[in-house]
Amino acid sequence: MSKYDFDLFVLGAGSGGVRAARIAAAYGARVGICEQSEVGGTCVIRGCVPKKLLSYAAHFADDLEDAAGYGWQIGPSSFSWERLIEYKDREINRLNGVYLRLLDNASVRLYPVHGKFVDSHHIQLGEDKVSAEKILIATGGHPWVPEIPGHEHSITSDEAFHLKSLPRRIIIVGGGYIACEFAGIFSGLGSEVIQVYRGDQIMRGFDHDVREALAQEMIARGIRIMLNTNVTELNRDSHGLLTAMMDDANSMHADTVMFATGRVPNVRDLGLRDAGVEARPGGTIPVDEYSRTNLEHIFAVGDVTGRVNLTPVALREGHAFADTEFGGNPRPVSHDFIPSAVFSNPQVGTVGYSEEDARLHFGELQIFRSEFTPMKHTLSGRKEKTMMKLLVQASTDRVVGLHMVGLDAAEIVQGFAVAIKSGLTKQQFDDTTGIHPTAAEELVTMRTPL
C-alpha cells in the first residue's frame, strides 16, 4: 500500500490537466485533481470554444450579405447579443458537464477549490490536506494588462464573453491572436472597431505576407488599425464613456476598451517555493522534454510552462506525461511544426516556419505564393482575396512552411500539417492530385517560384 493518498495529484482541470488525470487513471493510478474555477479550463470556458462560437456568429453577417449575389433576397435581419451570449453560455455549461462526467467516469476525485503546495508531496485544498507521490502542475494562465492609469476601466477576453451588450465602439489593444480574433468578432457583429498596436504590423512572428494580407483584409472590413501606437491612460466619464489617451498625444472615445496584450502563467499562491519548484522570473515553470520540473516527481504541462500556448499542445503534453509516468511508455512531445490558426476574419492558418525564420534555419528557399479571389466571391462580389504561400528548402526540396489567409484556412491547413510534419517535399505536393474546384488545390498546383 502506498504511503500517499494519491499516485497523482493534478493542480488545474483545464485541457492538459484533465487529459493527464484521465489517462493516468485509466492506467490504474489513483488520481486527484483540483480546480478553483469551472472544470474545462481556459479553452473550454473562456477561450477557444466560446471564441469560435462568437466567430461563427460574426460570419453570418457576411453570409447574409453574400447571399444576394446568389439570388437570395433576405428580408430585414437583426442580431441580439444577449441571445447569442445566452445560447453560448448554455453550450459552455453543457461542455463543463461533459468534462465533469469525464473525470467522474475515470474515477478521478475532484476538489473544487484552489490547491497549494504545503511541501513537495502535500497539497492544501481548503480545509483538506492530501499527499501524492507525483504532482502535475497544469494551472494555465490568465490575461495580462499593462498597469497604465485607468486600466481598471478596461476588459480582457475573460470579460468580453460576458458583456451585457454589444459595444458600439471598442478599442482593442494588441496585435496578436486574441486582438485580431476579437476585432473580427466585434466588427462582424456590428461594433466599430479600432485596433491599437505598438509595433509596425500586427501578428508579429507570423510570415510577413500573412501579416500584410490579414491587415489589408481587416482594414477593408472597416477595422481601423493604428500602428506604432500605445494607449497610455484611460478615463471614464460620468456617463460611462471611456477616453483612451495615446502616446502620440491623440485621444479616442469608446464605450469599451479591451486589452489583448498577452497572458501570464497562473503561479500565484501555488506555494511553488514551499515545494522547491523553480520558476522563471515571469512565472513560467521550466521543464524537460518529459515535462519534468527541477524535482523528480513534480511535472508541469500547458500554458504554465510557457512552451507553446495552445490547447492541442497542452493535451499532447498531458497525455505523453501520463503515458510516460503511468503507462510504461516513455515519450517526449515534439514541439516542431505545430500548426495553428487565427480565427480572425478572414482566418489565418499556418504550419512551419515564416519566410524570415526559414531563411535562418534552412538557407536558400524556393517561395511559392498565390493570391486569388475565392470562387465563392465571384458571385458574392465580396472584394476579399485568399493568400497562400509555400516555403521550400532549396537544397532538400522539403516544404518547411505553409501559410494561408482566407476562407476556411484553419480547416485546410490542418490537413496539410500532416504533410509538413511528415517532411514531404514539394515534388510530393506536385504529385498529389487536386480536388477541383477548391481553394486548397492551389497548394498542390503552384509550380512557379517567385
**Catalytic residue list:** 436
Question: Of these, 155, 225, 267, 310, which contacts ligand NDP (CB under 6 A)?
Answer: 310
Question: Of these, 213, 270, 342, 446, which contacts ligand NDP (CB under 6 A)?
Answer: 342
User: What is the footprint of ligand NDP within residues 225-244 (CB under 6 A)?
Assistant: 230
| Nine cell digits for residue 34 | 483540483
Stretch that binds ligand NDP, among 233-241, 336-344, 357-365, 371-379 (CB under 6 A): 336-344
Stretch that binds ligand NDP, among 4-12, 54-62, 196-204, 355-363 (CB under 6 A): 196-204
Q: Enumerate the β-bridge partners of residue 68.
A: none
User: What is the footprint of ligand NDP within residues 127-156 (CB under 6 A)?
Assistant: 146
For residue 399, give every residue at least 6 positions away whose Cβ sits within 8 Å of its Cβ, in sequence order, or none. 352, 390, 391, 392, 419, 420, 424, 425, 426, 429
Q: Name the minimum Å distance from CB 148 to ligand NDP.
A: 9
Which residue from 115, 110, 145 is spatially nearest to 127, judged by alpha carbons?
Answer: 115
178 or 270: CB nearest ligand NDP: 178
12 or 176: CB nearest ligand NDP: 176
Q: Is 340 in the site for ligand NDP (CB under 6 A)?
A: yes
191 or 195: CB nearest ligand NDP: 195
Separation CA 415–CA 295 (nearest Å): 38
175 or 271: CB nearest ligand NDP: 175
| Per rule CB under 6 A, count of chain residues that contact ligand NDP | 24
Contact (CB, 8 A) for 234 and 149: yes
Phi, psi for 253 (deg, rounded to 5): -100, 150
| Nine cell digits for residue 44 | 473550454
Q: Is 286 in the site for ligand NDP (CB under 6 A)?
A: no
Which residue from 65, 119, 83, 445 is spatially nearest to 275, judged by alpha carbons?
Answer: 119
Q: Is 341 in the site for ligand NDP (CB under 6 A)?
A: yes
Nearest residue to the partner ligand NDP, using Cβ: 176
Question: Of these, 16, 32, 175, 339, which contacts ligand NDP (CB under 6 A)?
Answer: 175
118 or 148: CB nearest ligand NDP: 148
Q: Is 312 in the site for ligand NDP (CB under 6 A)?
A: no
Stretch that binds ligand NDP, among 31-39, 108-116, 258-266, 375-383 (CB under 6 A): 258-266
173 or 407: CB nearest ligand NDP: 173
Separation CA 55–CA 40 (nearest Å): 20
| Nine cell digits for residue 386 | 485568399
Q: Is 363 in the site for ligand NDP (CB under 6 A)?
A: no
Question: Of these, 99, 117, 177, 368, which contacts ligand NDP (CB under 6 A)?
Answer: 177
How many residues in total does the chain contain?
450
Separation CA 39–CA 349 (nearest Å): 29
201 or 425: CB nearest ligand NDP: 201
For residue 51, give every residue at least 6 positions away whose Cβ sits within 8 Å of its Cβ, in sequence order, or none. 157, 161, 181, 182, 185, 343
Q: Is 176 in the site for ligand NDP (CB under 6 A)?
A: yes
Contact (CB, 8 A) for 434 and 441: yes
Q: Name the minimum Å distance from CB 321 to ligand NDP.
A: 20
Stretch that binds ligand NDP, among 67-75, 195-203, 291-299, 317-325 (CB under 6 A): 195-203
Separation CA 340–CA 319 (nearest Å): 19
| Nine cell digits for residue 106 | 475515470
**Bond prior to 346 in cis (omega within 30° of 0):** yes
Separation CA 274–CA 22 (nearest Å): 27
Separation CA 12–CA 135 (nearest Å): 11
Which residue from 138, 132, 152 is spatially nearest to 6, judged by alpha carbons?
Answer: 132
Binding site for ligand NDP (CB under 6 A): 146, 173-179, 181, 197-199, 204, 230, 260-263, 309-310, 340-343
